[in-house]
Structure 1
Amino acid sequence: MRSDIEIADSATLRPIADIAAELKIPGDALEPYGRYKAKVGYDFIRGVEDRPDGALVLVTGISPTPAGEGKTTTTIGLGDALRRIGRRAAICLREPSLGPCFGVKGGATGGGMAQVAPMAEINLHFTGDFHAITSANNLLSAMIDNHLYWGNELGIDARRVSWRRALDMNDRALRDMVVGLGGATNGAPRQDGFDITVASEVMAVFCLARDLDDLRERLGRMIVAPGRDGSAVTARDLKADGAMAALLRDAFQPNLVQTLEGSPALMHGGPFANIAHGCNSVMATRLGLKLADVVVTEAGFGADLGGEKFLDIKCRSAGLRPACTVVVATVRALKMHGGVARADLGREDLGAVHRGVANVARHVENMRKFGLPVVVALNRFTGDTPAEYDEVRAGLPGVEVVLCSHWADGGAGAEDLARAVMRRVEGWTGDYRPLYPDAMGLADKLRTVAREIYRASDISLAPAVSRRLAALEAAGFGHLPVCIAKTQYSFTADPKIMGAPSGHTLPVREVRLSAGAGFVVAICGDIMTMPGLPRRPAAEGIGLSADGRVSGMF
């Protein structure tokens, strides 16, 4: 069986100008990065703002397992399939982070015959967007320490600087550190640390900003530290927002690539869904909606994380109104949720499927709470049996379950899914609604998500967390949505508890304000904002041939 990168390398790609023409983007609106990648220019984007929007379809999934589910693959396969049945479709995806590429999760370009390309280029440096975001983040870090060095005119409380440096790589050694050592010429010693770039507030701002003016405004609002008098010191106070916006100018233009079947795909931004809001950029999504009849986008990890944040944060912030949700599952993953070890997934086990289907049933029920119709996409694996498929259907009464084979067959393997989605889109009555209102208090917003989505009995707040939430409300931030950072593997904060647990308590250990992004982050359990590499990182198997081909990637 060929690997994903071997399939991608053997594909014949079309010039990016031809792909742009599918969306009626003229050649002079493109800024090419080689033959198969390009950015879409600002003048063109501004010129289509008054066009009506197409329909927006969200692809999300069950709680992920090592068995695999295939959300990105399904997003790509569905986009290809929609074009095969005569729809003008576009795909909107996040860009890959180098951390997972060299760690354990792998890239973010799909798999099998449902991929976006050029695969190796996208999964490595792509068009440099993440480097620009990292640089903007660390410019602000440098300006904070420089301000402290030159007398601290703003009166920053150096003991309580909240802004952290960023790096787009998994490196646990950088989670907590001390900077400014080596004498007075090296600055003021203080505690600091790194987050992975995709968990940074700059990434969130980048993905939620509507245009360049909004980008700079949000960058300026970011709070970096309290002053000694208790006031908030912002990036604008440090006069860093203009230079940060300048660093992000080119990166902020959406990237256009293609699937192996030549469908247009806008890839832009890449926040993690377990520790950030997990959706591609508003810029790319809004552009896709102006250019296509149907836009298929993905929210990371399970519907309890990326799906909820897409609907409660991104859609609320950008005024988006999705028309349908696809929840992706596999029989193998459901058997793991039903208690089967990974080594035993090849054997038929109807009991495990019966137990595991509770996980997908809960995600479906959760998505319906937002007023959205739901289709379940069940990705085929060769070891699946018809009886197992019947068990999934029996456990989801009233839900359309569509078998998909786009990994092996490309868009042809997702045509039934495309038709099921279009039946919902064409019958949509516009019932989407967020889970909670803006006016609800922050603790109650956290409690609502925990109870309604995770099925927790309650949340636990340490006294310091309760005081922090009260202080944020007093400072005028109580209207913001909440972004819960927790493990992606469970409805609880414990990654070992699979299936569909209920009645647990969600422990909120820390609260962070992302004033520029426009949400409040609640960090729960042991989740880390700087991941580490596994015992055997994927980087060990990646290499480069004499003719310049990347090998061993996915």
Structure 2
Amino acid sequence: MAKSDIEIAREASMKPITEIGTKIDIPTDALLQFGPSKAKVSFDFLEGLESKPDGKLILVTAITPTPAGEGKTTTTVGLGDGLNAIGKKAMICLREPSLGPCFGVKGGAAGGGYAQVVPMEDINLHFTGDFHAITSAHNLLSALIDNHIYWGNSLGFDERRVAWRRVMDMNDRALRDTVVSLGGVANGFPRQTGFDITVASEVMAIFCLANGLKDLERRLGAIVVGYTRDREPIYARDLKAEGPMTVLLKDALMPNLVQTLENNPAFIHGGPFANIAHGCNTVSATKAALKLVDYTVTEAGFGADLGAEKFFDIKCRKAGLSPDAAVIVATIRALKMHGGVAKDKLGEENVEAVKKGLENLGRHIRNVGQFGVPAVVAINRFTLDTDAELAAVQEYVTQFGVEAIECNHWAEGSKGTEALATKVVALCENGGAQFRTLYEDDMGLFQKINTICRNIYGAEEAIADKKVRDQLAQWEEAGYGHLPVCMAKTQYSFSTDPNLKGAPTNHVVPVREVRLSAGAEFIVAICGEVMTMPGLPRTPAANSIHLDDAGLVQGLF
């Protein structure tokens, strides 16, 4: 019987984190250690890297996710190990897992099989406390708002237009819409509000996009927390909130260094979801890695229509990054689901279903191509995949001028990705990247939304009520029109219908709400029925997580 991910991780032969730091020229005195296997990298050391040249930047993205699994994080880890195995100095940059999926349905985000980052249990649970710091900073601002209103409201908050909600890092549908300050005069003025999951917090987005502590503080101060009765914005800086929020985040902003099962370096830092936020690890970790190694491999959440688009249009635009290559991960199982096969039939050979499902992969390849980044397809192979099914994928992608490479990193570690690593190096060294964003800064906000919907989702158009359009126009007048757009929609389809697989066309994308993230410096467009506070499934993963008689965690994956 095959070993579980947690069993493989527990058997790992980890090296001291100081030794991992030495591999990428980080001295021991620059590491703030959390035990023997985790550390943060000090700001003083990071600031000293600025004059060094950048290495190559590789994005790992994927087809539209299905319950069959794609293995994007696993492939990111496997590729990082594969690059090191062929003699390149490389490291990976991942996001930190949220507790919501760990105890919900998706599981953790530390890779799988023999392509994992360790210590897996720590990474998937409390890790170095970054998420708790972000949650605390966010909710400090919430407390300051209600406290200000309680003590006289000198800023003139319109209590109906307080825009700042609360957050927690757990799936809890009961908290989506709440009323606070009940219980009488001593508790303040009752008002309706709610909770989002921490990964959807603007503080999380700011944390991931900030260039150092000063920029973090500036961005926190620019958060619009509410409006007066005259519709004038009130900022976090008006409450003098940016100082104490930065204090809560000062240690968290240092990147976290860990290692893969093959003792290669990894930064795991920040963790916004790509369906409701921008879905990339921190700018600080990515920029540091580019200075420390020759090849930096990072990932963006969910399919290329969400994570990759936001990586290119938000993170790269704002951080001045220019990616050299992209890897699009697909599995035969997922392609068969996009081709109409039920989950319980995925073990049977079905070349025709694979061919039908390839429409989804094809659109993702075309989409990545719109950004001028050369790509390769990684076929994350499962045991029951047949050679005929793999051949169908490899033949199909040739029409796009790309190659599909079989990968077996889950079972073989770096050995299973050496061919992919060799191809990625060739793409990077050929200098074929001509990176460009999908739209210019000066395009209108609703036009940006429409551009994404048409060019990336294959939609006929985006639609929105007059209230939404008027709100966008007001933000343009207020000087926010140059900001990029962060689309919040289901990850399971190019459309807003999670059941619509493949590559649908001529659908419409309803934008039900827009939110200004003035500190993160983007506009959020909430589409369809997507939730910023998920719920737990009927049988959550939490039901299987426990300590055994030896005190070891079981059920975490």
Task: Give the distance between the partners of 1:350 and 1:249, measured in 2 at CA.
Answer: 53
Task: Give the distance between the partners of 1:51 and 1:34, measured in 2 at CA.
Answer: 30
Report the counterpart of residue 482 of structure 2 in structure 1. Answer: 479
The amino acid that maps onto 2:120 is M
Task: Give the distance between the partners of 2:263 and 2:86, measured in 1 at CA.
Answer: 15
Q: Deviations over 1:214-268 (max 9, x none)?
A: 0000000000001122211011001110000000000000000000000100000
Give 1:430 shift.
Answer: 4.2
| 3-state SS of paired residue (1:269) | coil
Q: Map of 1:13-412 to 2, 5 A cutoff?
A: 13-397=14-398, 398-412=401-415
Q: Deviations over 1:441-487 (max 9, x none)?
A: 00100000000000101110111101111111011000000000000
Give 1:429 shift.
Answer: 4.0
TM-score when normalising by structure 1: 1.00
Structure 2: segments with no counterpart, 5+ residues: none
Runs of 4+ aligned residues of structure 1 deviating over 3 Å after TM superposition are: none
Give 1:395 shift.
Answer: 1.9
Give 1:50 shift.
Answer: 1.0
Report the counterpart of residue 544 of structure 1 in structure 2. Answer: 547
Q: What is the percentage of aligned positions where both structures have the same residue?
A: 63
Structure 1: segments with no counterpart, 5+ residues: none
| Residue 467 of structure 1, aligned match among 458, 467, 470 | 470
Report the counterpart of residue 536 of structure 2 in structure 1. Answer: 533
| 3-state SS of paired residue (2:18) | helix
Contact conserved, 1:358 with 1:395, CA < 8 A, in 2? no
Contact conserved, 1:279 with 1:306, CA < 8 A, in 2? yes
Contact conserved, 2:373 with 2:432, CA < 8 A, in 1? no
Task: Give the distance between the partners of 2:26 and 2:391, measured in 1 at CA.
Answer: 45
Contact conserved, 2:394 with 2:405, CA < 8 A, in 1? no
Matched residues, number: 554
Task: Give the distance between the partners of 1:182 and 1:225, measured in 2 at CA.
Answer: 24
Task: Give the distance between the partners of 1:462 and 1:50, measured in 2 at CA.
Answer: 49
Task: Give the distance between the partners of 2:154 and 2:335, measured in 1 at CA.
Answer: 58
Q: Which moved more, 1:229-238 or 1:432-441?
A: 229-238
The amino acid that maps onto 1:333 is A
Q: Which moved more, 1:136-145 or 1:537-546?
A: 537-546
Q: Which moved more, 1:420-429 or 1:213-222?
A: 420-429
Give 1:25 shift.
Answer: 0.1
Give 1:80 shift.
Answer: 0.1
TM-score when normalising by structure 2: 0.99
| 3-state SS of paired residue (1:455) | coil
- Structure 1 pair 361/430, CA: closer, same or farther in 2 (3 Å)? closer
Task: Give the distance between the partners of 1:480 and 1:534, measured in 2 at CA.
Answer: 35
The amino acid that maps onto 2:465 is A
Contact conserved, 1:96 with 1:122, CA < 8 A, in 2? yes
Task: Give the distance between the partners of 1:378 and 1:425, measured in 2 at CA.
Answer: 20
Contact conserved, 1:102 with 1:538, CA < 8 A, in 2? yes
Q: Deviations over 1:285-307 (max 9, x none)?
A: 00000000000000000000000
| 3-state SS of paired residue (2:65) | coil
Task: Give the distance between the partners of 1:70 and 1:428, measured in 2 at CA.
Answer: 28
Task: Give the distance between the partners of 1:338 and 1:172, measured in 2 at CA.
Answer: 32
The amino acid that maps onto 2:389 is E
- Structure 1 pair 283/230, CA: closer, same or farther in 2 (3 Å)? same
